[in-house]
């Protein structure tokens, strides 16, 4: 390969780098953080275009037009998803319920292709020992599992202070502090 070609590849690389910095700043922080399916698609497409430009398979101008077009589609998608008129459900999807009121939701697990072990592992990441503590666990649009605990099971447990929350906890757990093995999300379940 000639020195001239190597220098041109380096120059195209610098040019694409500068262009991508501008595109990422315009499209916003979400393009860098947790990816939704659409964000991942955009990243893959941009990666392919960048590759074509750097190695000279397309001209810098052609590649730049493609990058700007993809960035405009991403920008339009983010605005369409922002407004509450239904496009957000189509473009970004909706969270999937995995656990509701301490019970596994098999339909949601099937939709996300997650088995019970994977759900329990995700709950352990959230320091959940007893699935009965979970009011709602969802797979968010970016693939992260979020957990909402029952009020009585929040980190500083209100049930420990007595009153209505203590009664609610007693009703939910049947007055038993330790969950049965089938309801544990911690390592003890695997050992038993």
pLDDT at residue number 26: 66
Quick one: 120 exposed, middle or buried, by C-beta within 10 A (0-12, 13-18, 19+)? Answer: buried
pLDDT at residue number 1: 60
List, edge to edge, every strand of the sheet that includes 103-104: 103-104, 96-100, 134-139, 145-149
Q: Could you give the CA distance from residue 7 to residue 21 in angstroms, rounded to a whole number?
A: 21
Sorted by where each begins, the domain ranges of the chain are: 3-90, 96-187
pLDDT at residue number 191: 37
pLDDT at residue number 127: 93
Long-range CB contacts for residues 79-88, cutoff 8 Å, separation at least 24: none
Pairing, β 103-104 against β 96-100:
antiparallel
Q: Could you give the CA distance from residue 12 to residue 34 in angstroms, rounded to a whole number?
A: 29
pLDDT at residue number 120: 96
Ordered per-residue pLDDT tens for the chain, 192 residues: 688 877 777 777 777 767 776 776 665 544 444 566 667 677 778 888 888 888 888 888 888 888 888 888 777 777 777 776 776 677 667 889 999 999 999 999 998 899 999 999 999 999 999 999 999 999 987 778 999 999 888 887 677 777 888 888 888 888 887 777 777 765 444 334
* φ, ψ of residue 100 in degrees (nearest 5): -135, 125
Placement of tokens 């994977």 in the chain: 118
Pairing, β 145-149 against β 103-104:
unpaired
Q: Could you give the CA distance from residue 56 to residue 50 in angstroms, rounded to a whole number?
A: 10
CA separation (Å) from 112 to 35, 95, 109, 119?
A: 16, 10, 5, 10
Q: What's the CATH fold of domain 96-187?
A: CRO Repressor (3.30.240)
pLDDT at residue number 147: 95
């Amino acid at each position: 390969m000639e020195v001239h070609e190597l220098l041109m590849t380096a120059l195209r690389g610098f040019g694409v780098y500068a262009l991508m910095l501008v595109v990422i700043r315009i499209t916003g922080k979400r393009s860098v953080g947790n990816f939704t399916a659409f964000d991942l698609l955009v990243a893959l497409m941009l990666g392919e275009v960048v590759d074509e430009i750097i190695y000279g398979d397309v001209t810098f101008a052609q590649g730049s037009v493609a990058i700007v077009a993809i960035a405009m589609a991403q920008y339009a998608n983010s605005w369409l998803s922002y407004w509450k008129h239904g496009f957000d459900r189509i473009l970004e999807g909706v969270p999937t319920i995995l656990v509701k009121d301490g019970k596994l939701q098999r339909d949601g697990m099937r939709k996300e292709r997650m088995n019970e072990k994977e759900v329990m592992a995700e709950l352990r990441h959230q320091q959940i020992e007893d699935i009965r503590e979970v009011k709602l666990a969802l797979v968010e649009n970016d693939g992260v599992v979020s957990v909402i605990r029952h009020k009585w099971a929040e980190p500083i447990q209100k049930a420990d202070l007595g009153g209505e929350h203590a009664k609610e906890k007693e009703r939910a757990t049947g007055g038993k502090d330790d969950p049965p093995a089938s309801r544990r999300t911690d390592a003890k379940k695997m050992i038993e």
